[in-house]
């Protein structure tokens, strides 16, 4: 979709000229516009940031994230969220190249947006993202003796508390009861009835009988 | 000084404001969300509790003989949020007022409730089912004039056919009258 007002058009054209990429526009139910630009490489960030700064954009915040879920994935990216007069433009910069997940360095935009200073230092400190030409590349929190990218080496909190992470724990719980579930795929009968005939066109419904398959007394482990 | 002595006397007369736990059981509100309890008779194995459980505290899996399923609640990872109770369509899950969950580290894997829930054979086709709980059937067939009691022992497919047939017979009878 195309931008709907003059100021968005100006930014759209400026970004197109700077990066040779067209910004995508989405609209919510109240027709508020949101611009989305995904750069092909980190070098395109400088002209994009310059174009945005010259057109009065403010940097709201920056988000560093891993684009692909999975324990071994290292496809990092940074989303820069800019505010214009009446809209938000998000510029995403992937930090990986085809066939190589190792994060590449990203240029600093602090010279155009002073508040980028904090985020860029934080990204370097916590996630090991290298920032090129940062005017003040000092650590924010961590002691210099600690490695950069320390956050990436820890288990994400979301993964730690998610139910899927308790598989190993469940093996211990069921082992305490004497049940081995290490090879189990978690199959469950009611979703796939065992031996259920498919022909049910003439069921004997007048005098149904009630037959337990094999009654097992419910057991409460409390 | 007089005010202090008055307050002291009043407090002495009232006695302690706190419960003498553990010498005596502490007061627990009726709606307190304590340890999860499952009524195996009411469970139909729909698995919505497993789906809703934020802590991954519920495991439902066929037993080895495939004659039923094992329903396990591991209290150690249960957050007592009560979502399982809220979404259980048959009210098989309740949260007790039992909050005595202190246990030693070596007991953590034993801190679970295990229920063995048998399948029943559908009276129509023999498929393994759980019987439809009467209160759920009462809601399903609230507007039906026909007695549906024995339909509880049929699988959903057989029950649908049987219920339709009975409704048809009932309607024919009314028309003839």
Facing residue for A214 by CB, picked from B47, B115, B118:
B118
Given a cut of 50, the residues of chain A with pLDDT beneath it are 164-165, 190-222
Does B137 share its domain with B111? Answer: no
Does B113 share its domain with B125? Answer: no
How many residues are there in chain B? 177
The verdict on residue B38 lying in a domain is: yes
Does B144 share its domain with B112? Answer: no
Does B137 share its domain with B94? Answer: no
Reported ipTM: 0.70
- pLDDT for residue A196: 41
What separation in angstroms does the CA of B33 have from each of A220, B29, B83, B85, B89? Answer: 19, 9, 11, 10, 19
Q: Which residue is associated with the tokens 């989305």?
A: A36
Contact A27, A82 (CB under 8 A): no
Domain that holds residue B175: 121-177
Selected for mutation to probe chain B from A194, A198, A210, A213 (highest B CB count within 10 Å) is A213
pLDDT tier for residue B170 given thresholds of 50, 70 and 90: confident
Structure tokens at A155: 């288990």
The angle formed by the CA atoms of residues A134, A40 and A148, to the nearest 5 degrees, is: 40
Selected for mutation to probe chain B from A162, A163, A165, A173 (highest B CB count within 10 Å) is A173
Contact A62, A119 (CB under 8 A): yes
Residue ranges per structural domain of chain A: 6-165
Does B70 share its domain with B98? Answer: yes
Longest dimension (CA), chain A: 86
Does B39 share its domain with B106? Answer: yes
Compute, in degrees rounded to 10, the torsion defined by CA atoms A114, A120, A122, A123.
160
Does B56 share its domain with B95? Answer: yes
- pLDDT for residue B132: 87
User: Hey, are the CB atoms on A211 and B120 less than 8 Å from each other?
Assistant: yes
Structure tokens at A202: 């003439």
Alpha-carbon gap, residue A196 to B102, rounded angstroms: 45
User: Hey, are the CB atoms on B47 and A177 less than 8 Å from each other?
Assistant: no
The verdict on residue B166 lying in a domain is: yes
Does B114 share its domain with B36? Answer: yes
Alpha-carbon gap, residue B160 to B154, rounded angstroms: 9
pLDDT tens-place string over residues A137-167:
888 888 877 777 776 666 555 555 555 446 7
Selected for mutation to probe chain B from A190, A214, A219 (highest B CB count within 10 Å) is A190
Does B52 share its domain with B99? Answer: yes
Total number of domains constituting chain B: 2
The verdict on residue B14 lying in a domain is: no
- Using the Cβ of A183 and the Cβ atoms of chain B, whether some distance falls under 8 Å is answered with no
Q: What is the mean pLDDT of residues B143-172?
A: 82
- Using the Cβ of A210 and the Cβ atoms of chain B, whether some distance falls under 8 Å is answered with yes
Res. B5: pLDDT tops 60? yes
Of all residues in chain B, the percent with pLDDT exceeding 90 is: 35
The verdict on residue B18 lying in a domain is: no
Alpha-carbon gap, residue B85 to B53, rounded angstroms: 10
Structure tokens at B121: 């054979």
pLDDT tens-place string over residues B54-108:
888 999 988 888 888 999 999 988 999 999 999 999 999 999 999 988 888 888 8
Residues of B in contact with A189 (CB under 8 A): 45, 62, 66, 69, 119, 128
Contact B87, B49 (CB under 8 A): yes
- pLDDT for residue A186: 60
Structure tokens at B147: 């007695």
The verdict on residue B10 lying in a domain is: no
User: Hey, are the CB atoms on A196 and B67 less than 8 Å from each other?
Assistant: no
Does B160 share its domain with B96? Answer: no
The verdict on residue B41 lying in a domain is: yes
Does B114 share its domain with B127? Answer: no
- Using the Cβ of A179 and the Cβ atoms of chain B, whether some distance falls under 8 Å is answered with yes
Topology of the domain covering A6-165: Beta Polymerase; domain 2 (3.30.460)
- pLDDT for residue A157: 53
């Amino acid at each position: 979709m195309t931008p709907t007002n003059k100021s968005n058009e100006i930014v759209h054209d400026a970004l197109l000229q700077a990066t040779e990429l067209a910004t995508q526009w989405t609209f919510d139910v109240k027709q508020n516009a949101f611009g989305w630009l995904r750069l092909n490489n980190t070098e395109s960030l400088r002209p994009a940031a310059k174009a945005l700064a010259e057109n009065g954009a403010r940097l709201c915040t920056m988000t560093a994230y891993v684009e692909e879920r999975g324990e071994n994935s290292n496809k990092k990216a940074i989303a820069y969220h800019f505010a214009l007069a009446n809209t938000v433009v998000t510029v995403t910069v992937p930090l990986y190249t085809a066939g190589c997940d190792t994060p590449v360095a990203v240029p600093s935009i602090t010279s155009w947006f002073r508040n980028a200073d904090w985020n860029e230092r934080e990204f370097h400190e916590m996630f090991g993202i290298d920032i090129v030409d940062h005017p003040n590349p000092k650590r924010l929190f961590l002691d210099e003796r600690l490695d950069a990218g320390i956050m990436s080496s820890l288990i994400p909190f979301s993964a730690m508390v998610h139910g899927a992470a308790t598989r190993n724990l469940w093996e211990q719980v069921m082992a305490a009861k004497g049940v081995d579930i290490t090879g189990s795929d978690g199959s469950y009968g009611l979703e796939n009835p065992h031996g259920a005939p498919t022909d049910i066109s003439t069921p004997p419904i007048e005098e149904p009988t009630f037959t337990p398959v094999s009654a097992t007394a419910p057991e409460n482990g409390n | 000084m007089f005010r202090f002595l008055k307050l002291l006397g009043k407090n002495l007369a009232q006695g302690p404001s706190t419960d003498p736990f553990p010498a005596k059981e502490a007061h627990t509100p009726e709606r307190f969300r304590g340890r999860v309890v499952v009524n195996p008779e009411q469970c139909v194995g729909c698995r919505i509790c497993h789906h809703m459980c934020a802590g991954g505290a519920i495991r439902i899996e066929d037993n080895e003989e495939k004659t039923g399923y094992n329903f396990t609640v591991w209290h150690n990872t249960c957050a007592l949020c009560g979502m399982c109770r809220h979404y259980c369509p048959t009210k098989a899950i309740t949260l007790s007022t039992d909050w005595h969950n202190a246990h030693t580290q070596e007991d953590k894997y034993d801190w679970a409730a295990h229920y063995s829930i048998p399948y029943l054979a559908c009276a129509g086709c023999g498929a393994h089912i759980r019987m439809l709980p009467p209160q759920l059937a009462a809601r399903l067939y609230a507007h039906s004039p026909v007695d549906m009691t024995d339909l509880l022992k049929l699988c959903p497919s057989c029950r649908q056919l049987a219920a339709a047939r009975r409704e048809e017979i009932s309607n024919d009878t009314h028309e003839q009258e």
